[in-house]
């Protein structure tokens, strides 16, 4: 086979008082790197705390130009079907469309024309956040720029039926820092997402979110830390590549 696969597992833990280090979920992921430069991300995310529990399955196609092509999402909330959907970006036509269904929204069909340039889909698996950091030109050294992102849910946990949502969030390249986690020691790049938009992501400001990703084209998330009301940690515990 001409493709190359990178797979692994990330453990979600809490840093809330009385819950320090307690596992609150997990994420299993696989990136398939094709010979034309396109990438398929598959991820299953389980969030057990805070309730209600969330189970998310996604398949995300990223073109060789780092432009999103399509995204499949299936969501389960408290072990009941929440919604599923498909988003497709046609860069040539400049369109973005979404077809989805959920018990609360019924059948949803959306089409946006002339969406213009944007940086990626926000898929909610944390490995997707790490891979999105590839849009930053690290040769410039530490710097920041705003990212324009389309998501199937603006909720901070992605726990709403799939519909098109647009957010702007600042991504800072902090610098290169090694990081040792359960999966091993890695040369990493340190980035920070900062939500300083007027209305906040999903109507609520997302706390600052620091991530460390492998300092290579795979851009695998090694460690993540969210402060504020969330107080979450994400740690790579297994990696196969």
Q: Give domain limits for the chain.
A: 4-240
Using DSSP bridges, classify how beta strands 221-226 and 184-186 pair: parallel, antiparallel or unpaired.
unpaired
Q: Which pLDDT belongs to residue 128?
A: 97
Q: Is-contact 34 6, C-beta < 8 A?
A: no
Distance CA 80, CA 5 (A): 31
The token pair at 184 is 């091993």
Average pLDDT, the chain: 95
Neighbours of 8 (CB within 10 A): 20
Residues 6+ apart with CB under 8 A from 239: 6, 7, 8, 183, 184, 220
Asked if the bond preceding 105 is cis, omega within 30° of 0, the reply is: no
The architecture that CATH gives domain 4-240 is Beta Barrel (2.40)
For the whole prediction, is pTM greater than 0.85? yes
pLDDT along the chain (241 residues), means of 10: 95 95 97 96 96 97 94 97 98 96 97 95 96 97 97 92 95 98 98 85 84 97 94 97 94
CA angle 83, 126, 76 (to 5 degrees): 20
- Rg of the chain, C-alpha, whole Å: 17
Distance CA 46, CA 143 (A): 33
Residue by residue, DSSP assigns 103-123 as: TTTEEEEEEES------EE--
Distance CA 166, CA 147 (A): 11
Question: In the chain, what is the straight-line distance between the N-terminal and C-terminal CA atoms, in Å?
Answer: 15
DSSP 15: -
Distance CA 96, CA 225 (A): 31
Alpha helices (runs of H) in the chain, residue ranges in sequence order: 126-132
Q: Which pLDDT belongs to residue 118?
A: 95
Distance CA 45, CA 151 (A): 16
Neighbours of 27 (CB within 10 A): 24
Cα distances (Å, whole numbers) of residue 128 to 17, 30, 106, 190 = 28, 11, 28, 15
Q: Which of 52, 48, 68, 54 is nearest to 122 (CA)?
A: 68
User: pLDDT of 204-239, one tens digit each?
Assistant: 788 999 999 999 999 999 999 999 888 999 999 999
């Amino acid at each position: 086979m001409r493709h190359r696969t990178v797979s692994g597992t990330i453990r979600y833990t809490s840093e809330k008082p009385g819950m320090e280090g307690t596992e609150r979920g997990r994420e299993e992921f696989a990136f398939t790197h094709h010979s034309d430069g396109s990438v398929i991300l598959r991820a299953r995310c389980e969030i057990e705390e805070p309730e209600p529990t969330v189970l998310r399955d996604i398949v995300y196609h990223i073109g060789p130009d780092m432009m999103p092509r399509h995204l499949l999402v299936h969501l389960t909330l408290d072990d009941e079907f929440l919604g599923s959907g498909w988003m497709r970006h046609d860069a040539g036509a400049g369109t973005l469309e979404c077809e989805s269904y959920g018990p609360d929204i019924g059948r949803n069909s959306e089409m946006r024309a002339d969406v213009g340039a944007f940086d990626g889909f926000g898929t909610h698996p944390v490995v997707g956040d790490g891979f999105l950091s590839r849009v930053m030109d690290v040769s410039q050294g530490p710097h920041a720029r705003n990212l324009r992102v389309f998501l199937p849910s603006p909720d901070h946990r992605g726990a709403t039926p799939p519909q098109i949502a647009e957010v702007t969030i600042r991504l800072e390249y902090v610098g290169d820092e090694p990081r040792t986690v359960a999966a091993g020691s890695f040369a990493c790049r340190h980035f920070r997402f900062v939500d300083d938009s007027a209305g906040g992501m999903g109507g609520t400001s997302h706390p600052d979110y620091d991530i460390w990703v492998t300092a290579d084209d795979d851009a695998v998330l090694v460690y993540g830390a969210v402060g504020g009301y969330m107080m979450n940690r994400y740690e790579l515990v297994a990696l196969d590549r």
